[in-house]
Each structure stands twice: as C-alpha cells, then as structure tokens.
Amino acid sequence: MHALLGATSVAPIILAVICTAAAGYIAKLVPPRQMKWMAAVQNRVRIVSESRVAPTLLMPVVTFTVYAIAQQVSGGNQFGVAQAFTSLSLISVLMFPVMNIGTAWPSITSAVACLDRI
C-alpha cells in the first residue's frame, strides 16, 4: 500500500488510533450516565408499580366509606353480609379493567413522547 499511496497510506492507521482513543475516552463517560439512566428507569417502574397497588387497596375502602356515609345521611338500612360479599365481588371484577386503564396511561404517554422525538 505504501508503494501505491506513499506516506498517505499511514492515514488509516492514524485514524484508527484516534478513533480507538476517542472510544476509550467515551467509554469512561458511559458508566455514570448509565447509572443515572437506570436509576430514572427504576424510579419510573416503582411509580407505575405503586399506581397498580393503589386502586386495589383504595377501591373497596372508598366504596364502603361512601356507602356508609350515604346510609348514615339517608337513614337507610344496615349493611348486611350478603351486600358486603356482593359488593366486594363486583369491586374485584371492576378492579382489573380500572387498573389496566391506569397502567396503560404511562405507556401511551411514553409512546407519544417517543413519536415527538422523531
């Protein structure tokens, strides 16, 4: 190659050395930034996980509290065992779709944000 190009045949070797040095420098910068990125991802996963637990815990409590307040105000009949089990069954049936809507929202906003970056 030196016979055909002369001294310029060294240029690819110099470029490879420069690129290797640059890659080494960049590689030193990656781990701290990757740790920040992973911490942000873990925080997002934690928030989404907590948002799944909240409806499961709060839905029956809020429903029975509102019912008890409404019965107290209206002077209605007592809350029986049959009503309690029926209500808990209906709440558990409704909880899954409500949780899906709640957990789909972050995915939708993430998809829209990805489309905005394009």
Amino acid 1: pLDDT: 63
Domain residue spans of the chain: 2-117
Average pLDDT of every residue of the chain: 81
Amino acid 12: pLDDT: 85
106 closest CA partner among 38, 22, 46: 46
Amino acid 18: pLDDT: 94
Whether the pTM exceeds 0.75: the reply is no
Q: What is the tens place of the pLDDT at every residue in 66-93?
A: 888 888 888 877 777 788 788 888 887 8
